Structure 1
Amino acid sequence: MTAPLPTTPPPGFRVWALPGIPEVRPGDDLVKLIAAAATADELPGLADGDVLLVTSKIVSKAEGRIVEAADRQAAIDAEAVRVVARRGELRIVENRLGLVMAAAGVDASNTAAGTILLLPEDPDASARALRAGLRDALGVDVGIIVTDTFGRPWRSGLTDVAIGAAGVRVLDDLRGGVDSHGNPLNVTVVATADELAAAGDLVKGKASGLPVAVVRGLPHVVAPGDGGSDLGARALVRNAADDMFRLGTSEAVREAVTLRRTVREFTDAPVDPGAVRRAVAAAVTAPAPHHTTPWRFVLLESESSRVELLDAMRDAWIADLRGDGFSEESIAKRVRRGDVLRKAPYLVVPCLVADGSHTYPDARRNAAEREMFVVAAGAGVQNFLVALAGERLGSAWVSSTMFCRDVVRSVLSLPENWDPMGAVAVGHAAAPPRERPARDASEFFSVR
């Protein structure tokens, strides 16, 4: 016995790429190029309710959004409004369009050697112009999605998403409805435009020279009319109030602090000086007394400066130990504890500058004033160490420079009012730190 045929066909759609679009150059008319490709004899043409998926690169080229490759970092800076994450030279930023993506969307692929592409100035406006132009040229009412390639948090791999749209219901809000079991749908909003963009990328590809695709069979996603009330792809950008990860959740902040672990063994890999400078920028946001800035960080980036300092500190330490009556064997054993600084590829000497401190007529208050500045210095160093961990750099804060401040000031040519507050060894950890069990915080506070 055969099953009865369904009375209505099952849902489905067709997607195909448009061949025949030439290399696009500044000033080219995309409407004419797409219309010519879509009406080629071997293709089905365009119809009302189709959706065109247009790679942003050809839109950028036609709009003249091409700059010299030598200016890539400057271009990223100009396009970015907020750095979200950074690892080495890779920056994930929020760009001026509100999109969070690598390098602000500044791209060196599929463009002539020596040039890079910026995203379209206004992808939604570009989509509206394409839609209106194709309606005038071919008499069809189609949806337009301008696509670009994104990475995604928590997921490996890349996919195309919508960065511009016209005449497309970019979001399908199912809230207030019910599922097939009658359960209420309270949070379900489907990113229809992104799903269409990803479908088109399956036939366009990244290196096949096919920058436009057509989706047919989903006319319900195309909004009729001139799209004057069309929100465009901007509606897909999550606003700051709803972004739980914009500044990191409280869980993420706590985890960032616990990433700071003392590292005593480093690889030979060089340390990015820019990462250290970013950590210094984080350090100097620590609280400080009297609206002062009591932190200075001496960055020892050359091997000669590190060796000269460590040799002088070692000699001073040996002299102190001999004066204390230790044997040569015991002295050698103790001096070896300083190897963590010698093995590090980068050293930083944090200094306290208390030139904004107050002076009192009694020793008690002067001592308290000094302690207040020392606490501020410690807060700055903690910020520094945590920021280094965020840069995937290991560190060890060693107190040694505090025991020979005059020697350190002399070797590094520091002002007399700069008090070295230890030294920080910086580098890439040779091995992951050992697991550390969580401490019971109740042992470290009391309630009154």
Structure 2
Amino acid sequence: MTSYTVRALPGLPEIAAGDDLTKLIASAEPGLVDGDILLVTSKIVSKAEGRLVAARDRESAIDAETVRVVARRGPLRIVENRQGLVMAAAGVDASNTPAGTVLLLPEDPDASARTIRDGLRETLGVEIGVIVTDTFGRPWRNGLTDVAIGAAGVRVLDDLRGGTDAHGNPLSATVVAVADELAAAGDLVKGKADGLPVAVVRGLGHLVGPQSSSEDSARAIVRSAADDMFRLGTSEAVREAVTQRRTVREFTDEPVDPDAVRRAVAAAVTAPAPHHTTPWRFVLLETATAREELLDAMRDAWIADLRRDGKSEESIAKRVRRGEVLRRAPYLVVPCLVMDGSHHYGDARRDTAEREMFVVATGAGVQNFLVALAGERLGSAWVSSTMFCPDVVRRVLRLPDHWDPMGAVAVGHAAAAPRQRPAREASDFITVR
């Protein structure tokens, strides 16, 4: 049976800038042996590397160390910092530091771990692993624990995929964060109040060795942006979804998942509406035949309108070509307005206002729909064309006479990222009384 021990390393002095951690650790524990794993609290690494810096206040220091805000609740910020770690306050520590100063994380925790490992090999002639640890909160769990932010000479992940469990079932997703497990074990015997910033694990030498740079880098534990399903906090994700929804006019041939569209419709129908009504209907054109039949009939109606306007055949051809965005999409949706539950006043002014309320509610539903599609990684373009030939749309799609088409939405996977647009200053659209 595999067993191991974890013990704190006593005898280390208060660390200051310029101190040689390797020599101090070697003096405190000359009995290190091959296969030991050293767990070093990042705070002493930062102090030795001179990461104690003057700061007007902790918030300004957090600003300077932040690359991306993940979530904010009052004064608390979860951010991605310069080291690529997602954590509270960018890892800026103002505890146990002189007034007017803060302690930053090591510039490169992996490099710091390599320096300690190489130094102890030279000083004591031992091959050990080194993990630099820091205290983290976790998204789904209360309480704090130590995790690995830097590593050298120790396997940080144990990939069990491709193997089988005790019952012979294939393991397809099991990757164990060994370095984090070791860091947490060390936290049980270390302690800020006790002045014990280093721990030694003995008995797990199979995790120690000349690993490749990817295997013994703590960066391997951090999820890439593409794999991070929780990259933003709730309110931040909502704002991101709304502001990043962009009109997409060019699509790939990749099919659209009908279930994704239905999930977007479910989001659409949560929009506000007058009189507790549900004024939205979404017609999903999932076959090429249905799309072509509708678009051909709409094109013919548009050409007839343009000819009545006296446009030349050349002008008509150009206009029709510019309106081909719906044909380039692999999936179409026609949102419709229904006035069921509306009030009739018998007065033109109030009846007009009543319809406008329902139109606004339909627009809110369409906006929800477009934002939800973006959340499903689907591009979209809301085109007004069906509003100009409602009778044609109702006839081709066999819709009830009281359904009013409110444009059409082209849906698909974007062929390219939309072009950036200048940010709009909110104050340009605000009037305060």
Q: Which residue of 1 aligns with 2:173?
A: 187
Given the alignment, which residue of 37, 40, 48 partners 1:62?
48
- The one-character-per-residue Cα deviations of 1:351-370 (angstroms, maximum 9, x if unpaired) are xxxxxxxxxxxxxxxx9xxx
Distance 1:70 1:11 in 2: 51
SS at 2:97's partner residue? Answer: coil
Tell me, yes or no, if structure 1 residue 34 matches structure 2 residue 25.
yes
Distance 2:430 2:70 in 1: 34
Q: Which residue of 1 aligns with 2:155?
A: 169
Change (3 A) 1:71 1:178: same
Q: How many Å apart are 1:58 and its aligned residue?
A: 0.5
Distance 2:58 2:173 in 1: 40
Tell me, yes or no, if structure 1 residue 119 matches structure 2 residue 105.
yes
- The one-character-per-residue Cα deviations of 1:205-251 (angstroms, maximum 9, x if unpaired) are 232110000000001111237x6665410100100111111146xxx
* Same amino acid, percent of matched pairs: 75
Tell me, yes or no, if structure 1 residue 206 matches structure 2 residue 192.
yes
Distance 1:163 1:236 in 2: 9
- The one-character-per-residue Cα deviations of 1:143-172 (angstroms, maximum 9, x if unpaired) are 000000000011000000000000010000
Q: How many Å apart are 1:256 and its aligned residue?
A: 8.2
Change (3 A) 1:94 1:229: closer
- TM-score, with structure 2 as normaliser: 0.55
Distance 1:87 1:194 in 2: 27
Unaligned runs of 5+ in 1: 1-9, 40-44, 258-280, 289-366, 384-416, 424-448
- The one-character-per-residue Cα deviations of 1:71-118 (angstroms, maximum 9, x if unpaired) are 422221121111011111110001121111000000112333442110
SS at 2:147's partner residue? Answer: strand
Tell me, yes or no, if structure 1 residue 19 matches structure 2 residue 17.
no
Distance 2:225 2:59 in 1: 26
Q: How many Å apart are 1:12 and its aligned residue?
A: 1.0
Distance 2:210 2:241 in 1: 55
Distance 1:17 1:418 in 2: 60
Aligned partners of 1:170 and 1:236 also within 8 Å: yes
Aligned partners of 2:154 and 2:216 also within 8 Å: no
Q: Which residue of 1 aligns with 2:38?
A: 52
Distance 1:29 1:79 in 2: 25
Tell me, yes or no, if structure 1 residue 238 matches structure 2 residue 229.
no
Change (3 A) 1:210 1:186: same
Q: Paired residues, what number?
A: 264
Aligned CA RMSD, in angstroms, stands at: 3.6
Aligned partners of 1:53 and 1:145 also within 8 Å: yes
Change (3 A) 1:29 1:245: same
Aligned partners of 1:90 and 1:102 also within 8 Å: yes
Distance 2:210 2:164 in 1: 26
Change (3 A) 1:282 1:136: closer
Distance 2:209 2:84 in 1: 24
Aligned partners of 1:69 and 1:108 also within 8 Å: no
Distance 1:62 1:160 in 2: 20
Aligned partners of 2:5 and 2:203 also within 8 Å: yes
For residues 411-430 of structure 1, what are the structure 2 equivalents within 5 Å?
A: none
Distance 2:157 2:241 in 1: 42
Distance 1:221 1:122 in 2: 22
Given the alignment, which residue of 198, 208, 211 partners 1:222?
208
Change (3 A) 1:136 1:419: closer
SS at 1:93's partner residue? Answer: strand
Q: Which residue of 1 aligns with 2:271?
A: none
For residues 247-326 of structure 1, what are the structure 2 equivalents within 5 Å?
A: 247=232, 285=243
Q: Which residue of 1 aligns with 2:78?
A: 92
Aligned partners of 2:153 and 2:216 also within 8 Å: no
SS at 2:188's partner residue? Answer: helix
Change (3 A) 1:224 1:113: same
